[in-house]
Amino acid sequence: MKIVVLDGYGLNPGDLSWEAMEALGELKVYDRTSPAELMVRAEGADALITNKTVITSADMDALPQLRYIGVLATGYNVVDVDSARKKGIVVTNIPAYSTHSVAQMVFAHLLHITQRVGHYATENKEGRWSANPDFCYWDTPLVELHGKKMGIVGFGNIGKATANLALAFGMEVYVYSSKPQSLLPQGIQKRTLDELFKECDVVSLHCPLTSDTLELVNASRLALMKPSAILINTGRGPLINEKDLADALNEGRIAGAGLDVLSTEPPRKDNPLLKARNCFITPHIAWATKEARERLMSIAVNNLKSYLQGIVINNVAE
């Protein structure tokens, strides 16, 4: 079997090994593949492994030998799955590999906004504390999370893990979910979306991106939030209308935002959130702890190995 990894750098910039996948066939790994390079690199491949490289119906038509596409992520919108299904091409994804890492990033952002550790560490390296007339100083609001209300939009694996961390901090947890209250864990209360934005001190987004959730955070919903509220997004960038959020931050209508995802990645230089007040952005790295990437690699290998053994798992093109 000829296996081609089209854009392996995101998963493995050099600290992991492709050895287990190499044992499954003739393997060629590319760090990145542009649309212009796709056909040359994929020619003759039985299996393509992709993260963000788009594979269209036309691409599949031009690759008659192709029988398997492995997506190195949970989301698989980079592949025309409907066409793959019609052509008998298996498409697999990687579910639930980064749950705890992403939930951890939610609280990394939240603690950064409420405590500003980086700000004070930088100030003190520049001598501010040494020159201070008092034993301590602070010039940002310092916020205790205990007793605050945490709103979680979407209650899948990551939403649940985030809720557990919030409960450990002594927060009250509210969720927007299709699940009835009777099926929610003890201590977690269901709210409508507008109720959640209105009542909660922190809102964290964990829902899939659909036509219904596109820009669910917009001017009207931001207007419901408390001036002291914080928005966290480790889900999908287009869940937020970025101009509306930038305006709310710059005008002080909400206290802060911690974002690991944006609508376009890498972002355009004129993205209004890049310079918005109290907006803190990480470059889509919530998933990228070494532990999570090791799990991702293991699942990707097992997906392909199982396929070769005639047992198809994690198939999104069924």
Q: State the catalytic residues.
A: 236, 265, 284
Distance CA 194, CA 83 (A): 38
Distance CA 86, CA 51 (A): 22
Task: DSSP for 272-310, please give it.
Answer: GGGG-TTEEE--S-TT--HHHHHHHHHHHHHHHHHHHTT
- Per-residue burial over 181-216, b = 16 or more CB atoms within 10 Å of its CB, e = otherwise: eeebeeebebbebeebbbbbbbbbbbbebeeebebb
Determine whether 238 is exposed, middle or buried from the number of CB atoms within 10 Å of its CB (0-12, 13-18, 19+).
middle
Distance CA 210, CA 267 (A): 21
Question: Which residues are paired to 231 by β-bridges?
Answer: 203, 257
